[in-house]
Amino acid sequence: MNRARRSATGLRRLRRGRPGASVRMQRPILANARAPTVDPTASPMNSIFIHDLRLQTRIGVYEWEQHLAQTLRLDLEIGLSSDAAFRSDDLADALDYSAVVKRLSVLAAEHPHRLMERFAQAVADIVLGEYPASWVKVRVAKLAPIAGVKELGVAIERHRR
């Protein structure tokens, strides 16, 4: 009996719970398999996120929108080129999440924008300009702005220059 057939017979016996059933497993052979390589000189890339931040602001192109505060939902992913906080467990090495939230709350409260695109860019400028971020992804959404629409918005990604 050839090897493949013996293996299949053993597997059937094993499935049926018969004694004497044994299957010899072979490791698959991967052609051209290589271990992953890591560049020891590359900076680590880590990110933190702030999701579902609700901000009140005046935003919109219509006159009535400039006089009525609306709720925006903001999602951020912030890239950090340093892994110091991940290693040290020291707040001094970390990005202060609460400071970011407070700063963006002030932006929303004090600076009306006509377009969500411009608001998203202002958020990205603040994160990259005032915090140790190497990149940022910003997603801004108006909640239920149009009948039948749960949310609509914009998403951008910006990198430090």
User: What amino acid positions are annotated as catalytic residues?
Assistant: 142
Contacts of 54 (CB under 8 A, 6+ apart): 71, 72, 73, 74
Distance between CA atoms of residues 25 and 83, nearest Å: 42
Look up residue 107 and give its two tokens: 């932006």
Spatial separation of the C-alpha atoms in residues 78 and 104, rounded to whole Å: 14
Rg (CA), the chain: 27
